Amino acid sequence: MDFKALIWQYGQGKRDFSRLDLQRIELIREMLIEIDFSRTSLEWANLSGTNLTGADLNRADLIYARLLSAKLIDADLTGANLQNADLSWVDLENATLA
């Protein structure tokens, strides 16, 4: 799935994008509140400045992902692989990181 298709489907009300291969996707400064990226491959993705409040990132693969200044308020990152992810200035208020 590419950037335009994801944004269009999200705009149509779809929230479940779990178990997809979204490696290297560019979702910069998007509003993706309560999106489900559980078990999704987001390796090398650029999510900088994106609002992911309430997102489900349970067991997501975020290796080398760029999340600079992203909002992960109330997000579920349980079991997410954040190896070498750039989390500079990320808002993790009430996020689950277990």
Q: What is the pTM of this model?
A: 0.95
pLDDT digits (tens, 9 = 90+) for 22-36: 999 999 999 999 999
pLDDT digits (tens, 9 = 90+) for 33-89: 999 999 999 999 999 999 999 999 999 999 999 999 999 999 999 999 999 999 999
Q: Are 27 and 3 in contact (CB under 8 A)?
A: yes
Split at pLDDT 50, 70, 90, the class of 98 is: confident
CA triplet 32, 7, 45: central angle to 5 degrees?
70
Token match 């200035």: residue?
Answer: 89
Token match 């987001």: residue?
Answer: 42
Higher pLDDT residue, 1 or 52?
A: 52
